[in-house]
Structure 1
Amino acid sequence: MSEFQIDLSNCDKEPIHIPGAIQSHGFLLVIDQQMKIRFQSEGLNNFIPDVNPNLLDQFIEVLEPKLGLEPGFIAQLIKIGKQNNFENINPYTVNLGDGHYYLIISISADYYMLEFEPVAADSEPNLQNMVGSSVSEMLADKNLKVLLDNSAKQVKKIINYDRVMIYRFASDGHGEVVAEAKNEDLDPWVGLHYPAADIPKQARELYKLNLTRLIADVDAVPFKITADSAKRPPLDLTYSQLRAVSPIHIQYLKNMGVASSFSISLIYKGELWGLIACHNYTTKFISYKSRTYAQLIGQILSSALEFRQDEENEFINKSFSTSLEKITKLLQENEFVEDALTQGRTMILSLTHAEGVVVNYNQKQTKIGRLPTDDQLRRLLEWAKDTIIDSIYYTDNLSAVYPPAADFIDVGSGILICTLSRELREFMIWFKPEKLQMVKWAGDPQKPVEFDPKGLSVISPRNSFAVWTQEVTGKSESWMQEEINSVIKLRDEIIYVVNQKAGALRLLNERLKDAYAELDTFSYTISHDLKNPLAVIKSYTQLAKKDKNISPLTQNFLSRVEDKANRMTDMISEILEYSRIGRIELEFQPVYTGQLIDDLIKDLTFVYKDLDLEFIVGDTPEISGDPTMLSQVFANLISNAVKYSQHAKPAQVRISGTSNAKETTYAISDNGMGIAAHDIPKIFELFNRLDSAKDIEGSGVGLAIVSRIIAKHNGRITVESELGKGSTFTIVFANAETAADPEIIIGDV
Structure 2
Amino acid sequence: MRQQESEFMTAKEDPTTFSVDLTNCDREPIHLLGAVQDFGFLVAVSFDWLIQRVSANIESFTGRSVDDLLGAPLNTLLGDNVIHLIRSRLQMLSSEDGTEHVFGIDFLSNGRKFDVSLHVSGSSIVIEAEPSDTHQTVTPGALVRSMSGRLQRTPSTRDLFEESVRQLRSVTGFDRVMLYRFNTDGAGTVVAEALRTGLESFRGLNYPAADIPTQARALYVRNRVRTIADVRAEPVPVEPALDPSGEPLDLSMSTLRSVSPIHIEYLQNMGVDASYSISIVIDGKLWGLFALHHYKPRRLSMEMRNATELFGLMISLMIEGKLAREQRAAEEKARELHDRFVGKLMSLTPSVSDLSNFAGDLRDIIPSDGFAVWADGLVKSYGKTPPDDAMPALARFLNRAAASRVYSSDELGAVYPPAKEFEQDAAGLLAIPISRSPRDYIMFFRQELVQTVNWAGNPQDKKMGYGPNGPRLTPRKSFEAWQETVRGKSRSWTDAEKKASEALRISILEVLVKFTEETSRQQAQSQQAQELLIAELNHRVRNILALIRALVIQSKATATSIDDFSDIVSGRIQALARAHDQITDEKYASQKLSEIIQTEVDAYIGGKADRVRLTGPNILVSPKAFSILALVFHEMVTNSAKYGGLSDSRGQVFVDWQIHEEDGCVIRWREEGGPAVQRPSRRGFGSTIIERSIPHDLGGEAQLTFKLAGLQARFVIPHTFIDYVEHNHDGLQSGLEQPIGSHGGQNGTSGLRGSGRMNASDGLLLDGMNALLVEDNVIISLDAEQLLESHGTSAVFVGANVKEARRILDEQSIDVAMLDVNLGIETSFPLVEPLMERGIPFVFVTGYGEQIEFPESAGPHVEAVKKPFSEDDLLSALRRAIERSRAA
CA distance in structure 2 between the aligned counterparts of 1:203 and 1:294, rounded to whole angstroms: 20
Work out which of the residue numbers 92, 105, 111 in structure 2 matches 1:93.
Answer: 105
Amino acid at match of 1:141: T
CA distance in structure 2 between the aligned counterparts of 1:252 and 1:296, rounded to whole angstroms: 28
Q: Deviations over 1:401-458 (max 9, x none)?
A: 101111111222111122234642411221112222111111222375969799x975
* Structure 1 pair 345–392 and aligned structure 2 pair: CA distance change class (3 A): closer
The size of the alignment, in residue pairs, is 500
* Structure 1 pair 481–199 and aligned structure 2 pair: CA distance change class (3 A): same
Matched, 1:21 2:35: yes
Which residue in 1 is equivalent to 2:434?
A: 420
* Structure 1 pair 63–156 and aligned structure 2 pair: CA distance change class (3 A): same
Q: More deviation in 422-431 or 278-287? A: 422-431
Shift of 1:494: 2.3
Which residue in 1 is equivalent to 2:299?
A: 285
Shift of 1:127: 3.2
Matched, 1:11 2:40: no
CA distance in structure 1 between the aligned counterparts of 2:517 and 2:305, rounded to whole angstroms: 68
Matched, 1:197 2:210: yes
* Structure 1 pair 87–383 and aligned structure 2 pair: CA distance change class (3 A): closer
**What does residue range 108-119 of structure 1 map to in structure 2 within 5 Å?**
108-119=121-132
Which residue in 2 is equivalent to 1:41?
A: 55
Which residue in 2 is equivalent to 1:356?
A: 370
Shift of 1:391: 2.4
Q: Secondary structure at the match of 2:72?
A: coil
Which residue in 1 is equivalent to 2:163?
A: 150
**What does residue range 293-332 of structure 1 map to in structure 2 within 5 Å?**
293-332=307-346
Greater RCO (Cα-Cα under 8 Å, separation 6 or more): 1
Which residue in 2 is equivalent to 1:103?
A: 116
CA contact (8 A) 2:104 2:132 kept: no
* Structure 1 pair 91–107 and aligned structure 2 pair: CA distance change class (3 A): farther
Q: Deviations over 1:531-559 (max 9, x none)?
A: xxxxxxxxxxxxxxxxxxxxxxxxxxxxx
Which residue in 2 is equivalent to 1:233?
A: 247
Which residue in 2 is equivalent to 1:665?
A: none
Shift of 1:241: 0.3
Q: Secondary structure at the match of 1:34?
A: coil
CA distance in structure 2 between the aligned counterparts of 1:445 and 1:31, rounded to whole angstroms: 44
Shift of 1:134: 2.1
CA distance in structure 1 between the aligned counterparts of 2:457 and 2:223, rounded to whole angstroms: 29
Which residue in 2 is equivalent to 1:79?
A: 91
CA distance in structure 2 between the aligned counterparts of 1:393 and 1:91, rounded to whole angstroms: 53
Which residue in 2 is equivalent to 1:366?
A: 380
* Structure 1 pair 9–242 and aligned structure 2 pair: CA distance change class (3 A): same
* Structure 1 pair 51–14 and aligned structure 2 pair: CA distance change class (3 A): closer
CA distance in structure 2 between the aligned counterparts of 1:80 and 1:371, rounded to whole angstroms: 61
Which residue in 2 is equivalent to 1:401?
A: 415
Amino acid at match of 2:151: M
Q: Secondary structure at the match of 1:319?
A: helix
CA contact (8 A) 2:97 2:253 kept: no
* Structure 1 pair 275–313 and aligned structure 2 pair: CA distance change class (3 A): same
* Structure 1 pair 492–71 and aligned structure 2 pair: CA distance change class (3 A): closer
Q: Deviations over 1:128-172 (max 9, x none)?
A: 333332222223321222221111111111111111111111111
Which residue in 2 is equivalent to 1:336?
A: 350
Work out which of the residue numbers 208, 212, 217 in structure 1 matches 2:225.
Answer: 212
Which residue in 1 is equivalent to 2:235?
A: 222
CA contact (8 A) 1:92 1:104 kept: no
CA distance in structure 2 between the aligned counterparts of 1:449 and 1:36, rounded to whole angstroms: 51
Which residue in 2 is equivalent to 1:271?
A: 285
CA distance in structure 2 between the aligned counterparts of 1:340 and 1:8, rounded to whole angstroms: 57
Which residue in 2 is equivalent to 1:346?
A: 360
* Structure 1 pair 145–232 and aligned structure 2 pair: CA distance change class (3 A): same
Which residue in 1 is equivalent to 2:265?
A: 251
CA contact (8 A) 2:54 2:66 kept: no
Which residue in 1 is equivalent to 2:195?
A: 182
**What does residue range 627-642 of structure 1 map to in structure 2 within 5 Å?**
none
**What does residue range 488-567 of structure 1 map to in structure 2 within 5 Å?**
488-502=502-516
Q: Deviations over 1:206-232 (max 9, x none)?
A: 111111000000111111112373424
CA contact (8 A) 1:443 1:466 kept: yes
Work out which of the residue numbers 444, 454, 459 in structure 2 matches 1:430.
Answer: 444
Matched, 1:410 2:424: yes
Which residue in 2 is equivalent to 1:391?
A: 405
CA distance in structure 2 between the aligned counterparts of 1:382 and 1:225, rounded to whole angstroms: 59
CA distance in structure 1 between the aligned counterparts of 2:321 and 2:161, rounded to whole angstroms: 14
Q: Deviations over 1:376-415 (max 9, x none)?
A: 2232122222455452211111111101111111222111
* Structure 1 pair 90–354 and aligned structure 2 pair: CA distance change class (3 A): farther
Which residue in 1 is equivalent to 2:499?
A: 485
Which residue in 2 is equivalent to 1:159?
A: 172
Q: Deviations over 1:635-669 (max 9, x none)?
A: xxxxxxxxxxxxxxxxxxxxxxxxxxxxxxxxxxx
Q: Deviations over 1:550-604 (max 9, x none)?
A: xxxxxxxxxxxxxxxxxxxxxxxxxxxxxxxxxxxxxxxxxxxxxxxxxxxxxxx
* Structure 1 pair 132–27 and aligned structure 2 pair: CA distance change class (3 A): same
Amino acid at match of 2:272: V
Where structure 2 has 5 or more consecutive residues not aligned to the other structure, the ranges are 1-20, 525-888
Work out which of the residue numbers 457, 464, 474 in structure 2 matches 1:443.
Answer: 457
Q: Secondary structure at the match of 2:512?
A: helix
Which residue in 1 is equivalent to 2:665?
A: none
* Structure 1 pair 460–56 and aligned structure 2 pair: CA distance change class (3 A): farther
* Structure 1 pair 381–73 and aligned structure 2 pair: CA distance change class (3 A): closer
Where structure 1 has 5 or more consecutive residues not aligned to the other structure, the ranges are 1-6, 511-749
CA distance in structure 2 between the aligned counterparts of 1:193 and 1:453, rounded to whole angstroms: 25
CA contact (8 A) 2:56 2:66 kept: no
CA contact (8 A) 1:23 1:244 kept: yes
Shift of 1:108: 1.6
Computing the radius of gyration from Cα coordinates, the structure with the larger value is 2
CA distance in structure 1 between the aligned counterparts of 2:73 and 2:105, rounded to whole angstroms: 21
Shift of 1:292: 1.5
CA distance in structure 1 between the aligned counterparts of 2:508 and 2:229, rounded to whole angstroms: 60
Q: Secondary structure at the match of 1:172?
A: coil
CA distance in structure 2 between the aligned counterparts of 1:401 and 1:84, rounded to whole angstroms: 41
Amino acid at match of 1:103: V
* Structure 1 pair 485–371 and aligned structure 2 pair: CA distance change class (3 A): same
Q: Secondary structure at the match of 2:202?
A: coil
Q: Secondary structure at the match of 1:502?
A: helix
CA contact (8 A) 1:327 1:340 kept: no
* Structure 1 pair 121–492 and aligned structure 2 pair: CA distance change class (3 A): same
* Structure 1 pair 366–326 and aligned structure 2 pair: CA distance change class (3 A): farther
Identity, % of aligned positions: 31
Q: Secondary structure at the match of 1:470?
A: strand
Shift of 1:506: 6.3
Q: Secondary structure at the match of 1:137?
A: helix
Amino acid at match of 1:114: I
* Structure 1 pair 476–268 and aligned structure 2 pair: CA distance change class (3 A): same
Shift of 1:330: 2.9
* Structure 1 pair 8–475 and aligned structure 2 pair: CA distance change class (3 A): farther
Shift of 1:368: 2.4
* Structure 1 pair 313–80 and aligned structure 2 pair: CA distance change class (3 A): closer
* Structure 1 pair 61–462 and aligned structure 2 pair: CA distance change class (3 A): same
* TM-score, L = length of structure 1: 0.62
Question: Once superposed, what is the RMSD of the aligned Cα atoms?
Answer: 3.0
Amino acid at match of 1:94: D
Which residue in 1 is equivalent to 2:182?
A: 169
Q: More deviation in 289-298 or 380-389? A: 380-389
* Structure 1 pair 369–84 and aligned structure 2 pair: CA distance change class (3 A): closer
CA distance in structure 2 between the aligned counterparts of 1:168 and 1:308, rounded to whole angstroms: 15
Amino acid at match of 1:350: D
CA distance in structure 1 between the aligned counterparts of 2:370 and 2:352, rounded to whole angstroms: 17
* Structure 1 pair 347–148 and aligned structure 2 pair: CA distance change class (3 A): same
Q: Deviations over 1:661-707 (max 9, x none)?
A: xxxxxxxxxxxxxxxxxxxxxxxxxxxxxxxxxxxxxxxxxxxxxxx
